[in-house]
């Protein structure tokens, strides 16, 4: 991921340029009509908090602007128009809107571009379960963003369509500024599988403290009461306090095990390290689903088949047991080694299930 603070999109024409800048730290935006003179554009960009990164679509204006900016130390991307997605339903074209769209693409799209460049299929679809939490959740978040008719950012979609309707007022994608005094940064204890760099906050895991971070795979902050409201909505079939978030039909599809008895290759490798029998992946649509098998599992051994939920990289867990009519949520601040984390949550889940049964 980049280390830039300000992202600039330029809608470049032969006789005019529209610029839109976005400060990733403060959220401040700039918009200006410019001449196509590279010196004029560089002068405007120079007044923004650095480092700055610029993107514009390749076109008849050529690469003169690119060479001018790069020659003066400004990171610049000339993107092929065919590679730039447009939001569903986006039929109103304006220079300012195009420039804003390009500036936004420099954020989450950098991760998407890296994923597409480095993650490739290694065998035919459907034969094995090679589940990558980061890749899976990133692509789901990107699909959500690309199909949003309002052209909203991922974090805004989640806030407006999920957190606010459910009254989850202490939850956000990225560490919202009013939540920062209460935010507990995860203690990785040397167990972070990858670094999470931020374009605004220093450190190899600065994204966890970045108010503008958009990481669909680990980027949410929440509280136990808020996470409980989310899980309760699922236990009640997609509705809570008169607000319907998911249809019953979608709940049925999402909580079905779509991978059968195939093991998750990621956890199969971890199981072999301890001499455990690998457990079925049990992957639904956005959920992990407990199967009939008795094995090492974060949902425990006493929960019912069909129990569904999900977990974070080691500090969060929730599940819903439809047979017990029970909701369980847990948030911790410390990450354990992956197998130790499975054992920890398995014990906690079994304690809770045994008390309820």
3-state secondary structure of 255: coil
Q: Is residue 188 domain-shared with residue 78, that is, in the same domain?
A: no
269 found inside a domain: yes
In this prediction, residue 138 carries a pLDDT of 80
Residues 84-106 as b/e (b if ≥16 CB within 10 A, e otherwise) read eeebeeeeeeebebbbbbbbbbb
Q: Is residue 55 domain-shared with residue 162, that is, in the same domain?
A: no
Q: Is residue 113 domain-shared with residue 20, that is, in the same domain?
A: yes
147 found inside a domain: no
In this prediction, residue 196 carries a pLDDT of 72
169 found inside a domain: yes
Instruction: Look at the chain and report how many structural domains it folds into.
Output: 2
Q: Is residue 21 domain-shared with residue 83, that is, in the same domain?
A: yes
Q: Is residue 242 domain-shared with residue 350, that is, in the same domain?
A: yes
Boundary-marking domain end, from 66, 89, 118: 118
- Tell me the pLDDT tens digit for each residue of 53-85: 888 876 656 678 888 998 898 888 776 554 444
- Spatial separation of the C-alpha atoms in residues 311 and 326, rounded to whole Å: 17
Domain that holds residue 34: 6-118
Q: Which residues of the chain, if any, have pLDDT below 50?
A: 1-2, 82-95, 105
Q: Is residue 81 domain-shared with residue 213, that is, in the same domain?
A: no
In this prediction, residue 85 carries a pLDDT of 43
141 found inside a domain: no
Look up the CATH number of the domain holding residue 18.
3.30.420.40
**pTM of the model as a whole:** 0.70
- Spatial separation of the C-alpha atoms in residues 165 and 240, rounded to whole Å: 9
- Spatial separation of the C-alpha atoms in residues 100 and 246, rounded to whole Å: 31
128 found inside a domain: no
In this prediction, residue 111 carries a pLDDT of 58
Q: Is residue 294 domain-shared with residue 174, that is, in the same domain?
A: yes
Cis before residue 96, ω within 30 degrees of 0? Answer: no
165 found inside a domain: yes
Give the helix/strand (H/E) hosting 77: strand 75-79
In this prediction, residue 101 carries a pLDDT of 55
144 found inside a domain: no
């Amino acid at each position: 991921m980049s280390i830039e603070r300000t992202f600039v999109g330029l809608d470049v024409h032969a006789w005019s340029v529209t610029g839109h800048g976005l400060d990733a730290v403060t959220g401040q935006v700039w918009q200006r009509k410019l001449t196509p003179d590279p010196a004029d554009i560089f002068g405007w960009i120079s007044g923004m908090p650095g480092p700055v990164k610029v993107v514009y679509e390749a076109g008849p204006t050529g690469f003169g602007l690119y060479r001018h900016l790069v020659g003066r130390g400004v990171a610049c991307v000339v993107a092929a128009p065919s590679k730039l997605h447009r939001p569903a339903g986006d039929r109103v074209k304006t220079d300012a809107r195009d420039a804003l769209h390009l500036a936004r693409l420099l954020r989450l799209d950098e991760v998407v571009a890296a994923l597409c460049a480095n993650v490739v299929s290694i065998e035919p679809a459907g034969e094995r379960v090679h589940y990558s939490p980061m890749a899976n959740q990133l692509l789901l978040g990107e699909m959500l963003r690309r199909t949003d008719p309002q052209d909203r950012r991922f974090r805004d979609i989640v806030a407006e369509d999920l957190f606010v309707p459910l009254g989850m007022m202490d939850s956000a994608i990225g560490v919202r500024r009013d939540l920062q005094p209460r935010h507990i940064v995860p203690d990785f204890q040397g167990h972070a599988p990858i670094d999470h760099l931020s374009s605004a906050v220093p450190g190899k895991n600065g994204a966890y403290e970045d108010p503008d971070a958009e990481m669909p795979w680990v980027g949410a902050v929440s509280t136990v009461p808020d996470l409980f409201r989310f899980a309760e909505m699922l236990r009640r079939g997609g509705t809570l306090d008169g607000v319907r978030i998911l249809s019953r039909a979608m709940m049925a599809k999402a909580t079905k095990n779509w991978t059968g008895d195939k093991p998750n290759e990621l956890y199969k490798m971890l199981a072999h390290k301890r001499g455990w029998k690998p457990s079925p992946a049990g992957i639904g649509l956005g959920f992990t689903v407990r199967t009939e098998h008795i094995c090492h599992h974060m949902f425990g051994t006493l929960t019912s088949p069909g129990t569904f939920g999900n977990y974070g990289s080691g500090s969060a867990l929730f599940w819903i047991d439809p047979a017990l009519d029970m909701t369980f949520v847990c948030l911790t601040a410390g990450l354990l080694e992956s197998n130790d984390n499975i054992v920890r949550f398995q014990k906690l889940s079994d304690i809770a299930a045994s008390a309820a049964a």
